[in-house]
Amino acid sequence: MPTPLSNLRVVDMSRILAGPWASQLLGDYGADIIKIERPGTGDDTRQWGPPWFGTGDNKEAAYFLATNRNKRSVTVDLSMPAGQQLIRDLVSNADVLLENFRVGTLQRYGLGYDALHRLNPQLIYCSISAFGQTSSRAAEPGYDAMIQASAGLMSITGPADDAGVGPQKVGVAIADIMAGMYASTAVLAALNARQMTGAGQYIDVPLYDSQVAWLANQNMNFLVGGRAPVRMGTAHPNLVPYQAFSTADGSLILAVGNDRQFAACAECIGEPELARDPLYARNSDRVTNRDALVRVLQHALAKKTTAHWLEQLEKRSVPAGPINDIGEVLGNDYARERQLVRHVENSAGESVPTVANPVDFSATAVQYTKAPPRLGEHTDEVLREWLGYSDESIAELRASSVI
């Protein structure tokens, strides 16, 4: 079965998470991803363990494995003129370049957009940085946690102020991941534009701006309502009941999205009159009288087990679910049915686990053909395949520590 992007070549000069997440998505869809890494050390996340997969010199951090499948690794020393020329040679044969260096770094090496666009006018050049390429903060570094904090996410994540816990960050590096998602869709949009114009273009994706953009309804709550949203734990600012509740043996989450569902929920817990009470009949009433309603629901739900309530709520088509840990998520029947965990063999013959891309095309398959690569393992292969380098040329580059 063909893949959607099998005709595309991508030079991936990014590392850590945002850029590699974008390139992994493109690789899942069939693009040939060449991951450029520093000789000897490679992507920083190769050392971000434990836990590790494998042993000894062949071990890789789980973090690295999470975001680098369907890529080939080529080592290049960018500080050397011959290394810079090697990148130019690769870019001459590429459709896309992804990078997340500090602003100005690649320009100093003669590898900025203007220079590479002259070399390859059809190139899509995508830069990911903390605060964009041209802002007053462009020179500042940025990691996910500080972006979650400074771009608003932590102000709405965690228990309410009166719980005394304080702001919380999301348990994955979501600012990085969402910037990578924006970058991948922007690359695809630019490729489509190239189909119409014949020309490549430059894409600037800031972590900070991406984080702000996907605050979604919370942004609009402020812009329309004039009050900055606050932390509400698992509760929803615009819907009630839409939060976690304790049961007799654990917890569940209710996600009631309309008045019909609320009526069914009220019937389920043996309190049908709640749906007729003018304090709770409409969602806007329930938001206004949130605290009183939550107390009533909590009192009722605490009487029976999570399994009991989930069964009864499902019968009435009320959205609700258990609060599973990741082991339960990846090990349950649904995960097996949907093949959420796949295994890809690496060059050492080891079966490397990976979590499936959620997209399912009817005619062009997502691929799981390459395990996250060993550092530099494809250098010779790519230089021969993309550039036609001879064995002698490759040996010379390796002898001079360019690769």
Residues in a beta bridge with 244: 253
CB 143 within 8 Å of CB 175: no
* Secondary structure (H, E, C), 39-57: CCCCCHHHHCCCCEECCHH
SS3 252: strand
Distance between CA 30 and CA 221 in Å, rounded?
40
Distance between CA 128 and CA 182 in Å, rounded?
10
Distance between CA 5 and CA 191 in Å, rounded?
11
Model pLDDT, residue 57: 79
Distance between CA 128 and CA 120 in Å, rounded?
20
Model pLDDT, residue 27: 98
- Provide Rg for the chain, Cα atoms: 25
Model pLDDT, residue 4: 96
The fold adopted by the segment(s) 9-213+336-399 is Rossmann fold (3.40.50)
* Sign of the four-CA dihedral 233, 234, 240, 241: negative
- 67-87 in b/e burial notation, b at 16+ Cβ within 10 A? bbbbbbbbbbbbebeebbebb
Which helix (H) or strand (E) is 345 found in, with range?
strand 341-345
CATH code of 242-323, in short, is 3.30.1540.10
Model pLDDT, residue 15: 96
Q: What does the pLDDT look like over 341-373, one tens digit per residue? A: 999 999 999 999 999 999 999 999 999 999 999
Distance between CA 269 and CA 361 in Å, rounded?
41
Within its chain, how far is the Cα of 13 from the centroid?
18
Which helix (H) or strand (E) is 71 found in, with range?
strand 71-75
Q: Could you list the active site residues?
A: 176
- Phi then psi for residue 80, to 5 deg, are -100, 135
CA atoms within 13 A on the CB side of 122: 14
CB 332 within 8 Å of CB 325: no
Q: Which segments of the chain have a pLDDT < 50?
A: none
96, two tokens: 């896309």
Domain ranges of the chain: 9-213+336-399, 242-323
**Residue whose C-alpha is closest to residue 344's, from 332, 333, 336, 356:** 356
SS3 193: helix
Distance between CA 324 and CA 326 in Å, rounded?
6
Distance between CA 345 and CA 370 in Å, rounded?
7
18-28 and 174-197 helices cross at what angle (nearest 10)? Answer: 50
